[in-house]
Structure 1
Amino acid sequence: MMETIDERWLVRNPLPTLYGTEDKNARGRVLVVGGAEFVPGAIRLTGEAVLRAGAGKLQLATVSSAATALGVLVPEAAMIALPADQDGEIALEAAALLSERIRRCDTLVVGPGMSVGPRTDQLVASLLAEPDNSRTVVLDAAALTSARDLPDLIAGHEGRVVLTPHHGEMAHLAGITAEEVALAPETIALKTARRFGCIILLKSRSTLLAAPSGELLRYESGCVGLATGGSGDVLAGIVGGLCARGASPLTAAAWACWVHGKAGRTLSQHVGRAGFLARELLPLLPKLLDGTAPE
C-alpha cells in the first residue's frame, strides 16, 4: 500500500528530537564529496543544505582549485582540497586521502557537481568500500551512474544508502529506458530498491520513495519552479543533514521531499512559479522544519 507524504505522515513519523543536541557533534558530522573545475559550486548548495537541515558539522571535499573559494563561500565548513585529473575532476587517489575522514563522519554525500566517467566509477566504488553500521550514505548526480554496477557493494551497507535519481538516472540504474520508467515508476522503484538494498528517491513532479522492505511513499510537489539547476543538489543535502541528525534513511528522505517541496511552493508564491534559484530555497529550510518537527 502506498502512503502520501503530508503533514499527517510527518506527525506520525517525526524526526529525532533536538533536545540534548546542544553539542554540535550530537547533531552529526557530514562529509560531502563532489564538484569539479567545471562545476565548482554544486557542493556549496549541498553543503549549506546539510547545515540548514540541522546537522552539526560539515566537511566539503572538492578539487583543490575550487576549495579556497568554496571555503570563503561556506565559512561554516571545513574544506578538504583534493587532487584533480587532467579533466578537472576529482582524481582517483582522492579516495585514499578521504578514507580516515569517511570513518569519522556520520553521513557521507557523494556526487553533486561530479561528471560521469570511468574515473568517477572507480572513485565512488572506493569511497563505498568500507560499510559501517553507524554511517549513512547519499548518492546523487554522477555517483548514481557509478552505482549501476555496484548493487552488491551498496547492499552491503544494509539499508543505510539513499539513491536520488531522476527518471533518466533511474533508467540507467535499472538498465531500461526513461520511457519505461515513466510507464511504471512504482514497480521500477521498488524493484531497484530491493536489488540495491537501499532507499530509492525517484524524483519527478510526483516523487516516489521505495524501500527494500516494500514500503512505498509518494510526494506531490506541484511546483514547476523546482525543476531548475541545483535543486537536486539542495535535496541531497537535506537528506544528508537529516540522516546525520539521526533520522532513518527513509524518514530523512521523506522529510527532505516535503521540506524541499514546501520551500519551492513558498518561493512560487513570493517570487513566481518559475525563475527562483536553488540557493533561494536554503534560508527557508530551518523555519519549515521547525514548523512541523518536535522540539
Structure 2
Amino acid sequence: MERLDRTWLQRHPLPSPAGGDKNARGRVLVVGGAEFVPGALRLTGEAALRAGAGKLQMATVRAAAMSLAVLMPEAAMIALPADEDGEIAPDAVELLGERLKSCDTLVLGPGMSASERTEQLVASLLSSPSAEQTIVLDAAALTCASKLAGLVAAHEGRVIMTPHHGEMGYLMGLPPEAVTADPLAAAEQVARDFRAVVVLKGTETLVAVPGREPLLFEGGNAGLATGGSGDVLAGLIGGLAARGAEPLSAAGWGVFVHGAAGERAAAEIAEIGFLARDLLPSIPGLLAKFGR
C-alpha cells in the first residue's frame, strides 16, 4: 500500500485555479436530501464551493428547497417532486436531464434513504455515461448501486464511491464485521467489480482503484465520526473533481484535506464534539497550504 500523505499530494498536484470565469472552475450538481433531513445538502454544497468549484446547483425535495436556498444563497436551487415517504420521486429525473448534461460533477446521495424508488432514480441518473463528467456516489445512492455494477462500470473509472464499513458490507452482501476484518480486500474487490474509485472510510481510510496500488490515509481523528462529516467529504471530492482533478486525485486530496480539517477542528474546539459544519471554513486554507 502507498501512504496518502503530503508527499503523495506533491506528486499529484491539483489543476491550477482557473481565471475569472466561474464556469471554467467547474460546475457541480448535488442531488439528495429528503423531508426528514432537509439540511444535509447544505454541507455537501458548501464543501464543493469551499473546494473551489465555480458554480453550484442543488436539487432536493420541494418541501426543503426554499429553506435550503435561503441557507445557501450561492447556489441555484432545483425543487423536485417527493414520494409519499418524503424522498425524491423517481420521475424527478425528467427535471434533472438538461442540468445533468451541463454539470462537470454530479454528487448523488447525501441525505437520501435507500428504497426501490431511490434505486430507480440512481439507475436513471447513471444511464448516460459521459467522458467529461465525474460522479460521486454517497450514502443511499451508494447502497442502491449494489445491483448496478454494470451501469457504474460503464463510466470507465469516473465514478467515486464513498462507503463506510456498513455501506461497504451492503454493497458486497456481507456483514460490516467482515469488511472490518479485511478492509483492503473489500475495497479492492468493489473497485474491480464496479471499475470505480472506492474511498472506504474508517479509523484508517483506504482509496482503491482497479490496477493500481491502494492508498492508506492514517490521519484525522475520532471527532470526524459525526453526522454530516461524510456529506462534507462527498462535496469536497466533488468540488475538486469539478475543478479538473482526475477521480483518483480528487479522492486522495479530498480524504487528506477532510482529515486535516478534522485535526484543526479538534485543536480549536475539542477532539469530540465539533460539528461537521466546523470543517467547512478550513477547507480553502488547507488546500492552499498543501498545494504550495
Give the structure-2-normalised TM-score: 0.99
> Partner of 1:147 in structure 2?
145
**Structure 1 Cα separation of the partners of residues 100 and 172 of structure 2:** 28
- What percent identity do the matched residue pairs reach? 61
For the 8 Å contact 1:190–1:214, the answer to whether it is kept is no
Q: Deviations over 1:127-173 (max 9, x none)?
A: 11100000000000001111100000000000000000000000111
The residue type paired with residue 108 of structure 1 is: L
Q: Which runs of 5+ in 1 are unaligned?
A: none
Q: Which residue in 2 is equivalent to 1:3?
A: 2
Measure how far apart 1:99 and its partner are.
Answer: 1.1
Instruction: Give the match's secondary structure for 1:114.
Output: coil
Question: Structure 2 residue aligned with 1:180, among 166, 178, 181?
Answer: 178
Question: What displacement does 1:191 show?
Answer: 1.0
Name the structure 2 match of 1:15.
Answer: 14
One-letter amino acid of the structure 2 residue matched with residue 44 of structure 1: R
1:244 positional shift: 0.2
How far the C-alpha of 1:22 sits from its partner, in A, is 2.1
Query: Which residue number corresponds to residue 206 of structure 1?
Result: 204
One-letter identity of the residue aligned with 1:267: A
- Residue by residue, what CA displacement relative to the aligned partner does 1:34-87 show, whole Å, maximum 9, x if unpaired? 000000000110000000000000000000111111001000000000001111
**Alignment partners' CA distance in 2, 1:141 and 1:272:** 27
- Number of the residue aligned with 2:49: 51
What is the CA–CA distance in structure 2 between the aligned matches of 1:288 and 1:44, rounded to whole Å?
20
User: Does residue 1:118 correspond to 2:116, yes or no?
Assistant: yes
Q: What's the offset of the Cα at 1:222? A: 4.2
Aligned partners of 2:19 and 2:13: how far apart in 1?
Answer: 16
1:100 is matched with 98
Would you identify which runs of 4 or more consecutive aligned residues in structure 1 move more than 4 Å?
A: none
Bigger Cα displacement from structure 2, 128-137 vs 173-182: 173-182
Q: CA deviation at 1:187?
A: 1.1
CA–CA distance in structure 1, aligned partners of residues 106 and 267 of structure 2: 34
AA aligned to 1:33 is V
Select which of 63, 67, 70 maps to 1:69. Answer: 67
> 1:262 maps to which residue?
260
Q: Supply the AA of the counterpart residue of 1:15.
A: L
| Gap change, CA 1:222 and 1:98, over 3 Å in 2 | closer
User: Within 1, Cα distance between the matches of 2:289 and 2:102?
Assistant: 31
**Which residue does the alignment assign to 1:158?**
156
**1:31 lines up with 2:1 in the alignment:** no
Tell me if structure 1 keeps the 8 A contact 2:220–2:260: no
Which residue is 2:127 aligned to?
129
The SS at the match of 1:205 is coil
Where does residue 275 of structure 2 map in the other structure? 277
- Alignment gaps of 5+ in structure 2: none
* C-alpha distance in 1 between matches for 2:213 and 2:197: 10
> Secondary structure in 2 aligned to 1:59?
strand
Counterparts of 1:176 and 1:86, CA distance in 2: 30
In structure 2, give the amino acid aligned to 1:132.
S
- Give the alignment of 1:241-252 within 5 angstroms: 241-252=239-250
Which moves more between the two structures, 202-211 or 8-17? 8-17
Q: Shift of the alpha carbon at 1:101?
A: 0.7
Contact between 2:29 and 2:103, CA under 8 Å: does it hold in 1?
Answer: yes
Shift of residue 214, structure 1, vs aligned partner: 3.0
Cα shift at 1:93: 0.6
